[in-house]
């Protein structure tokens, strides 16, 4: 049995298994470009940390320099597009410290950052 940290280290190629191998879609990760592999992995904490800033600014923390298309895709993938459209300033709405200006369900669903 292994812990969460060990699983993450194995999946990202920081450590290799003592036996067998780690494969994604049937491809051994040791044959992949590990930098590229790691850039496609996101960790989403159970605790949401939101800044007293706009939704867009909070998203850019997850990926500095993200394009508008990447931001929109992250929002759509998180299932948040419809509720964001209802906000007074859309993606530019300031959500308050820890998302205080959002409902509890919207805060829990605000895992936008890991969706790039």
Domain residue extents for the chain: 4-39, 55-115
| pLDDT tens digits, 5-55 | 999 999 998 999 999 999 999 999 999 999 999 888 877 666 667 888 998
Res. 104: pLDDT tops 60: no
pLDDT score for 112: 53
**Maximal C-alpha separation, the chain:** 55
CA distance 113 to 77: 11
pLDDT score for 77: 85
- Residues present in the chain in total: 116
Question: Count H helices, E strands: the chain?
Answer: 6, 2
In terms of pLDDT, which residue wins out, 62 or 99?
Answer: 62
Sequence-separated (6 or more) residues with CB below 8 Å from residue 97? 50, 51, 52
| pLDDT tens digits, 44-93 | 666 667 888 998 998 888 788 889 999 999 888 888 888 889 888 999 99
CA distance 70 to 101: 24
């Amino acid at each position: 049995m292994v812990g969460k940290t060990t699983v993450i280290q194995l999946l990202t190629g920081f450590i290799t298994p003592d036996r067998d191998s780690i494969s994604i879609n049937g491809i051994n990760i040791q044959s992949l470009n590990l930098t590229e592999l790691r850039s496609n992995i996101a960790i989403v904490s159970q605790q949401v940390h939101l800044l007293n800033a706009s939704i867009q600014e909070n998203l850019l923390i997850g990926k500095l320099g993200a394009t508008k298309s990447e931001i929109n895709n992250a929002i759509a993938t998180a299932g948040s597009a419809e509720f964001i459209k209802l906000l007074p300033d859309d993606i530019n709405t300031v959500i308050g410290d820890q998302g205080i200006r959002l409902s509890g369900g919207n805060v829990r669903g605000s895992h936008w950052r890991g969706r790039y």
